[in-house]
Structure 1
Amino acid sequence: MFVCSCFGVTEEQVKSHAEAGACTPRQIASACKAGTDCGGCVRRIQALLGRGACPRRDLADRAEPSLTAKLPEAA
């Protein structure tokens, strides 16, 4: 099934790029241009990535500390 009609990118291609390490829509766009023309496929790409297409997503999420933990308390 096509994810990006503008560039003919399929779901399988997005999953393949995710397995290779592209874990954000921007990284997918860099890999295959999907999402860089009309932008209509960006939500579909986000959904694919959110459903486990990126095996490294868990590692990336655990490596990033929570921003709220670093906010100073209001005086």
Structure 2
Amino acid sequence: MFVCSCFGVTDQQIKEHAAAGACTPRQIASVSKAGTDCGSCVRTIQGLLGRGACPRRTLIESGGTALAETALVDAPLSEAA
């Protein structure tokens, strides 16, 4: 199915880019131009990325609390408060 008709980008191509590490609509746009013309496909791209197309997203979500705790430990005291 075509996700971006302006540049002829399919849902399969979006999933392939996501598997290669492009996990945000902006990153998808930089590798495929999808979403950079009329913008009507951006919500569809967001939906595809939110449905497990991005392996890194699953990893981040599974370790989200640990990552947040690490960020607080590494932050200066003025930022952590």
* TM-score category, normalised to shorter length: 0.7 to 0.9
| Sequence identity (%) | 70
Two-structure CA RMSD over aligned residues (Å):
2.1
- Letter matched to residue 46 of structure 1: Q
| Superposition map of 1:45-60 within 5 A | 45-60=45-60
- Letter matched to residue 5 of structure 2: S
The structure with higher relative contact order (CA 8 Å, sep 6+) is: 1
1:16-70 CA distance string (max 9 Å, x none):
000000000000000100000000000000000000000111334427539xx86
Of Structure 1 and Structure 2, the greater helix share is in 2
Counterpart selection for 2:68 from 62, 65, 69: 65
Q: Which has the larger radius of gyration?
A: 2
- Letter matched to residue 59 of structure 1: L
**Normalised by the size of structure 1, how large is the TM-score?**
0.81
Whether the 8 Å CA contact 2:2–2:11 is kept in 1: the answer is yes
**Normalised by the size of structure 2, how large is the TM-score?**
0.75
* Residue of structure 2 equivalent to 1:9: 9
